[in-house]
Structures are given as structure tokens and as C-alpha cells.
Structure 1
């Protein structure tokens, strides 16, 4: 029997179908908009054209897709704008920028450290560092490590004898920093995210140079990585065996510089120790090889070059330390 409409509460009986199946079919048809209420009331329902039902069902999905597309277009525009603004700011920044004094150096180091996202590399020659510099660097270091930024620092072997530096290293390594030591031959520098490098200006330890030129930055970071692979972990406690090992390595470097004919002052500066401590090491080396003068020592040491006996010249005692490098104004531009 065909009917123009169907009452909700009086569903027809259909041969071969149970009442609950008819009710389920009625529900499915109304859900799919193939049965629509007559006169706006949900008491009687009439059949609707499939095209109209399809349009009614698809319209909300199309609207959601359009809204999502508009949101994606807005987000794309915002990201492009952020990128272009950042690129424009970067292009406006000079490839090389001089920082003429301690205040400007600290201000820029604070800014670079705050903006660092991935990694900070720093090499600090000169032996132990003074308390003021360590205190000034601590807050910056804690903030960087607290954000999950990786930090690696290189010191000279002689820094291990400095109690303040050793205590500082113990704290920052506990926070996740990595610290190693090397003999001599590296520069003072700090690299941020392999994009910016700050180096000490030649002839003015209170000033610094900011380098953004990609090739120079890449070369500097590569030099750091080479030194890092050659360096030893900084021990938080300097036992007798470690003290002897550090002292022996120090003497090896001093012997090499003596052979090169460097003066006491140059050797002391490159080894991160006072001239007096350096002269004490040299005196012990001269005593062991039986040298009567610096010239005689240079001659004898050249004779030892390539000879396994050279190792015996460096076998010292733990009481060769400690080393106390001067903590002058040059330290005031350091970061860690």
C-alpha cells in the first residue's frame, strides 16, 4: 500500500519485516534526510528527493572544509610573515659587529643566550676563572640548561687546580653541561646555535667581535669540534693520580713550546698560568735534563724529540700544582 506520508507513531506493517526492523528503517531514513517532517512538525513524515537529502547532508561537511581551509590559509600567511620578518631582520644584521666594552659584551651575551634554541659552545683558555665572572655566568648558564639547550665548554688543564672553577663545573655538569680540558692552543669564543660566534678582540680583552658570516662561523665551530675530540673530561674532584696526569700533560706542552723558542711570558699565557708558575715548571724540566741555560735546554730538548725518553721528563708529582693564573680584566667578557 502506497501512502503520501507516514505517521511517526503509526508505522505501517510491511510483509516480511518485524516491527523493530521497520522502526530501525524509519530511523535510518530520517537520519539520511530521505524522510522529512510534514509542515515542520515531527509527527508525520514524507519522502524527500535523494538530491535534496544529499545536499542537506553534505552542506555542513562542505562548510567545515571551507572553514578549515580558511584557517589553514590564515596560518600559512602568519607563518610566511613571521619567516619573512625574521629573514629581513637577519639580513639587516651585520656579518661582523664590534662590541667595544664589557657592558655591551654582557648585554649581547645575555641576549644570544636567551635566544639560543639548540646549542651553546664555549672555549675559555687562561686557566681558572675569577669568582665575579663565574657568578655572572651562573644565572645565564642555568637558564640555558633549564630550557634543554645543550652546553659544551672547553677549559685548559690548569683550570682543574682552581677551586672556584672546579666548584662551578661541578654545579653546571649536574645541570647537564659537558666540560672538558685541553692543554693550550685554542681561542676564547662562544657559539650560539652554530649561527653566531662571539670572539675576543685581539689586543683588547674587554671588547669582543660578533660574527654572523656563515663560512667563518662554520670554520670556528669545526675547530671547536676538533679540539673537543682531543680534550679530556673535567674531573669534579682532583685526586692525586689525576693531579699527576694533569701536571705531566702540562709539562709536555711546556716542553713543546720551549723547543719552539717561546719566552716564559708567552708560554705562561698560552698555558693559562702565572709566569712564576711557568718558570717553576721550566726550572724542574731544566734540572731533569741537566740544562745550564735556556739555550742549552732548547738544544737538549730537541735531541729528545721523537725519543721515548721524552716521556720521562714529564713524569712529575701532584705537588707541581696548583696553578693560579691571574684573573684580570680580560675575564670580564667571558661567558659559560
Structure 2
């Protein structure tokens, strides 16, 4: 067979298919451009002119996160309280986060103590670190927070956990960034593999936080929620605290721990052993 004949028989169908696909791409692109005026008048667009703006649903929050991530130019700060994150949430965030990091945007993320024992969260943190992010652990995270370039932030709505408040007020942003930096300075590196010394140190920090919160009058459920641990884990730590200080019951423990320095001394002795 002549090469020209073979060329016609083998390549022309593929060339026709390529041309058809290009026509479809051009058509879809044209329709999407027609939608731009509608988008520019969307809720998110109007929200850019407001210092505080509510997003009421998951879809609205995801759209805002996607746009703000794409527009980020310098750094993204993230605080994720509550211990382990649900796997679908981690999966949904992975592609967006990796895309940001591959553009050279700096990213710092805070997780709570319990997150280090949840393998999907550990895997997600490992992937972020592999792409250049920094991830640390804290005992108590103040709120769910994402800050983009110090210019806009999202926090969780108090009356709607599926929504978010978009903040552009420079004074509020300054406070949020300062609070994040304070927590970051005290945080430990996220252990991507089991490290006995760090696990022990984290355990001591969680016990100290439990003592502090109980001394402030919070009940067991509130303390566990603020520290991002289960009630059972809280009770296990409390039992260890009572054993360490020699308390016979909760009332006795309260008396012994009237001075928090007592617990700190016991903790230091425990670490030396």
C-alpha cells in the first residue's frame, strides 16, 4: 500500500475526530464566556465589597475556597480544630491544596492533638509536607480558620457549621493572624511517623490542658470538645492525672490541683522517668 493511502486510511479519521472535539471545545468556551456577566453579579462577587459576608451552604463555601485559593499570591494559613477530619473532606481538599502549593504559595496548617492518630489525616498531612507545606500540632485550636494573603479570611458560622463568614475587615484580619501566629509559635511539628518522644510530649500537653480547663470550671464534655478528643480519651487522660497526683476521687483531685504548679512538677518527674 502506498504511504499516502495508508496515511488517509489511518490518520484521517483521527484528524476528523480531533477537529470535531476542537469545535466542541470552542462552542463550550463561548457559552462559558457568555456566563461571565452572570457570575460577576453573583453572591460571591457582591461579597467582595463587604467587610463581613455570610456563606450559608457547603456549595457556597467550596466555591469561595476555590476562587480564593486560585487568587492567593503569597500565603494561606489554616486552622483545623476537632481532631481527625472526615475522609471525604480531606479528599475534596487535596487537589485544591496541591494545586496551590505547586504554584509556590506558602501554606501553614494547624491540627489538634488527636489528628496525629488518624491515618487518613496523617496521609493528607504527609502529602502537604511533601509539596512544601508546614503542618504543626497544638493542644487547643481557637477556631476553624483559613486566611488568604492576610487580606481575606473564612471562619465557621456559630449558628451554621456548614456555612462560613467571609471577613475582609483589616482590623479583624490583623487579630486573626496574630492569634494564629501565637498558636503556631507554641505548636509541635506534625509527626508523619511514630515518634515516641513527641507522642509523650503531646500527651503531657493534653493532660496539662485538661487540668487547666477543669480548673476553670468546664465540664468533661466541653473540655473534650475543646481539645478535639473523644470523651473516652478524655476520661483515660483524667484517670492518669488522678493516679499521678495520688487523688482518690475528683474532689480530692481538685484540692490537690488547686495550684497548677503541682501538676507541672509531677509531669516533669514523669518525663524524667
State the TM-score, normalizing by the size of structure 1.
0.64
What residue is the counterpart of 2:187 in the other structure? 231
Deviations 1:145-173 (A, max 9, x none): 11111111011122111111111111110
181 and 148 in structure 1: CA distance in 2 versus 1, 3 angstrom threshold: same
| Cα deviations by residue, 1:14-56 (Å, 9 ceiling, x for unpaired) | xxxxxxxxxxxxxxxxxxxxxxxxxxxxxxxxxxxxxxxxxxx
- Partners of 1:147 and 1:257 in 2: CA distance: 41
Aligned pairs (5 A) from 1:319-330: none
How far is 1:131 from its partner?
Answer: 0.8
Partner of residue 121, structure 1: 77
C-alpha contact 2:83 2:113 (8 A) present in aligned 1: yes
Kindly state the Cα deviation for residue 175 of structure 1 after the two structures are TM-superposed: 0.3
Counterpart Cα distance in 1 of 2:197 and 2:92:
32
Structure 1 segments, 4+ long, off by >2 Å, are: 89-92, 239-242, 287-296, 303-310, 312-317
Partner residue, 1:169: 125
2:232 and 2:263 mapped to 1: Cα distance?
29
Partners of 2:114 and 2:229 within 8 A in 1: yes
Contact 1:288 1:313 in 2 (8 A): no
Distance change in 2, residues 1:233/1:306 (3 Å):
same
- Please state if 1:140 is matched with 2:101: no
Deviation sequence 1:257-315 (CA, Å, 0-9, x none) = 12222111111111111111111211221222232332322221114536752425865
**CA RMSD in angstroms, aligned pairs only:** 2.2
Match in the other structure for 1:210: 166
Unmatched segments (≥5 aa) in structure 1: 1-88, 318-336
Higher Rg = 1
TM-score (norm 2): 0.78
* Equivalences, count: 229
Aligned mates of 2:237, 2:65 — CA distance in 1: 36
| Distance in 2 separating the partners of 1:96 and 1:196 | 10
Matches within 5 A, 1:96-111: 96-111=52-67
